[in-house]
Each structure stands twice: as structure tokens, then as C-alpha cells.
Amino acid sequence: MKLPYAEPFKIKMVEEIRQSTPAEREEWLKKANYNLFNLKSSQVFIDLLTDSGTGAMSDQQWGAMMTGDESYAGSKSFEKLHETVQSITGYQYLLPTHQGRAAENVLFSVLVKDGDVIPGNSHFDTTKGHIEIRKAHAIDCTVDEAFDIEDPHLFKGNIDLKKLEEVYKTYPKEKIPFCLITITCNSSGGQPVSLENMRAVKELSDRYGIPIYFDSARFAENAYFIKMREKGQENRTIKEIAKEAFSYGVGMTMSSKKDGLVNIGGFIALNDAEIFKKASNFTIIFEGFITYGGMAGRDMAALAVGLNEATEFEYLESRISQVEYLGNKLIEFGIPVQKPIGGHAVFIDSLSFLPNIPREEYPAQTLANEIYKEAGIRTVEIGTLLADRDPVTRENRYPKLELVRLAIPRRTYTNNHMDYIAAAIKNVYDRRNEIKKGYKIVWESEILRHFTVQLEKA
């Protein structure tokens, strides 16, 4: 008899979570202005808002924290992190930051200026925000298959070479500071980018003299998909695949709260000494000295261990299999989700789920709120609220997909929780025709509005 799969870890500590009543959730949601970001964590039973910084660290990581060196400059913790990042990425220079968006802020302060365009594969919210706040423009060059949830394409995060070359032909080289490859591509459903596509983007970009940078928050998950799906990669290690991927770029930003397996932290890794020097100045201004950059020594020590753990096949198999388990449960119930299932989350197509809700009433946010009211599960809208307004016309931007993301924290929940989530969403799906109205905005910020927007029922 073949032995069933078992997770390659055992649980060492637990945290109590409390289930609430439907009446309590209705009142809490109203007080939160129907924005799930405004809920208290004590009001949430299962929290799928994000996988960023919400996972469980290993005993080895906790042990490393006890030996963290808190020296202001040149700490041993920085040296260990630098050595680890060099080993995994091949990049020479390291600038720690307190999280991924801080890395974007520092690097884009060097590279991005008014009027620039940055092509890439579905830039995520903070990335686009850091581009647009500098009066530049993000241009989405993702393959069309990414926007058909039923298409079985194995690498929906890929960049469409024709779309990318059109950008290179349309704009002068001086207006294109870099091409950005996001691995995995969050906004298209946690979908991977193939090594073949990275090589092709590199070859095309070289012809036009455009450097490549990576948004690397989930680079290890991307490498896992390459190993499992891309011909000729099945016998390589995750670390080997990741290192080749990074060889096609000149630098990267990292939110370590994802594939770094820590609760806080980020970094920039580079091969260009001049860019490093310029970015160092902004690191000192925005973050801290260049060998800690907003991170405590103990957190850098935990991150060095986490990066190595996250690039081991056994961990990734456990992590991604759980996400796939939830996705398959929802598919069994007839729930419309992005296929294939992504690496860090399951993405529900709210336009198919709630066809009666007009887009100007934010169907993805409507669905996310209904899931919370049903079972105390907090998810997040990846749709029109997140897409924000056009910076020139100030009109809503309606993305091709209106998604609700179920982001699974790493090493945190069991498959019993996944079963609970799937049953709750099926209950909402069974009463979907009763949901007639969405929401309207009563207040919003000028950029990245989805974090703080205030809504009321339409």
C-alpha cells in the first residue's frame, strides 16, 4: 500500500482563534465601513487577507533570532544574510529594507522618473503605486491566457513578447528604465513565469538595451512550478532553478514576508555597483544604515535561515499542495476559480460568481464581504478597488479579472481549515442569486485606496 502524503513538519505551538456569530460579524463589518482591512484580527476566524508576514517560523529560525547581532553597522547577522542572498541569487550587493514596498521605494527612487514607462507582467498594487506616484506608467504585458480563468496554460505569469516589443518600439530607450518580471505573478492569480520566457524576455530586452529587474516575493514558489511543469527542469533543485532565473536580470526587490518565511523584512539585491551606491543613499534616508536598513539583527538572522528553508523542495511541496487542495475543493463545488491553481492563493472569479452585481458596485469586494459574513473568513479583493483610478482621468480602472484572493499563510492552517473555507464559500455560492446589491465609495485616498477605502451599501 502506498503511504499517503504527510507534512514534513510537526506543530510545536498553537494560537487560539474564536468563532463569532453572524450578528457580530454584520455589526463589525458595518463599523469597518465594509473594508476588511479595518477589521481587528480578533474579529476574524480564518485570516486569508494576505500571505505576507502571516506564516509560522521554524524552530531553526527562532533559534537564529536568539543569536542576532544588533550592531548598528556591519553586524554578523547582515554578513550571514548577505552570504545567503549571494548564494541563492548570484547578486553581489545587498541592501536590507523593512519590507518589500520599502525596497521598491529605495530602488525606484534611483531608477524611475517623471514620464517613464515600466513594462512587465501585471505589476502588483504597491509596485504600481510607487511607479505612478513618480508620474511614470506601468504597462501590463502579461500573456492573454492569464485573463481566461479556464485556460489550462501552465505559465500564465509569462510576458507576451509581442506586447513587450511594442512597448520597446513605441517609447525611446531613455523612457524605459527597466522591464519588471514579477515571480510569481500575484495579480494574474499567483501564476508562474517559465525559464523559457525569462530567457526570451532577456534576449529581447538586450536587443533594445533594457535591463531586467525581478519582483521576487514568491521566487521559490515560481521555481517549484518550473521544476514541476517545465520540460527539462524536473531533475534540478529549487536553488539551481532560482539562480538561473536571477541570472537573466541585473537586480531584484524582495518582500521577505513571503518566501523569506519571516514576519517582517525585505531587501534589494544588485550586481551594478553604481546603482548600489545611489540606492545606498536612499536607504540611509528612508530606512537606516546600509547593513540593517530598517531590520533588526535578529530578523536578518531569521531571514537567512528562512530563505534556505523556502528553497527546499519538501517545504514547497507541502505549501503549494495545501493551496491546491483548497482550490480543488472549490472546483468540486463548481466555484469559478483561476486555473491552474496558483502558488500562494486561490483566486475566485467574482464576475462569474456574482453576475448580478455591476462592476461599478465592486463585485469582488461584495463577494469578499459575503464570505466574511458567512463564516468569519477574511479575504481580499483583487479587482477594481485595487486597480485604483486612472491618475489622469480619475475614472475607475476596470481590470480584465475581478478576483477575490484566498491567500494561505505558510505553515499556519491545517486542511481541516481548508475544508471549512471551501464549505463556507459553497454556502455563499448556493445563495448567490439572493445577493442583489454591492457597494459604493464614500471616501477614498488618492492612491492605493483599497487599504483604507470607506464603503456603504449601494
Of the residues 9, 72, 144, 390, only one is catalytic, namely 72
Of the residues 34, 45, 91, 124, only one is catalytic, namely 124
What is the 3 state secondary structure string of the chain? CCCCCCCCCCCCCCCCCCCCCHHHHHHHHHHCCCCHHHCCHHHCCEECCCCCCCCCCCHHHHHHHHCCCCCCCCCHHHHHHHHHHHHHHCCCEEEEECCHHHHHHHHHHHHCCCCCEEEECCCCHHHHHHHHCCCCEEEECECHHHHCCCCCCCCCCCECHHHHHHHHHHCCHHHCCCEEEECCEHHHCCECCCHHHHHHHHHHHHHHCCCEEEECCCHHHHHHHHHHHCCCCCCCCHHHHHHHHHHCCCEEEEECCCCCCCCCCEEEEECCHHHHHHHHHHHHHHCCCCCCCCCCHHHHHHHHHHHHHHCCHHHHHHHHHHHHHHHHHHHHCCCCECCCCCCCEEEEEHHHHCCCCCHHHCHHHHHHHHHHHHHCEECEEECHHHHCECCCCCCECCCCCCEEEEECCCCCCCHHHHHHHHHHHHHHHHCHHHCCCCEEEEECCCCCHHHCCEEEEC
For residue 368, which phi and psi values (nearest 5 degrees)?
-60, -40
Distances (CA, A) of 177 to 112, 138, 182: 7, 11, 16
Verify whether residue 215 is a known catalytic residue: yes
Verify whether residue 137 is a known catalytic residue: no
Verify whether residue 258 is a known catalytic residue: yes
Paired sense of beta strands 251-255 and 212-215, if any: parallel
In the block, which residue shows the cell 478597488?
Answer: 385
* Side chain identity at residue 314, one-letter code: E
Of the residues 98, 123, 257, 450, only one is catalytic, namely 450
Verify whether residue 436 is a known catalytic residue: no
Verify whether residue 124 is a known catalytic residue: yes
Could you give the CA distance from residue 167 to residue 172 in angstroms, rounded to a whole number? 9
Of the residues 64, 217, 269, 407, only one is catalytic, namely 217
Of the residues 116, 125, 259, 349, only one is catalytic, namely 125
Of the residues 215, 259, 299, 349, only one is catalytic, namely 215
Of the residues 130, 257, 258, 339, only one is catalytic, namely 258
Verify whether residue 72 is a known catalytic residue: yes
Q: Which pairs from 228-236 meet CB under 8 Å and 24+ separation? A: 229/154, 229/155, 229/192, 229/194, 230/154, 230/155, 230/194, 230/195, 230/196, 233/195
Catalytic residues: 72, 124-125, 215, 217, 258, 450
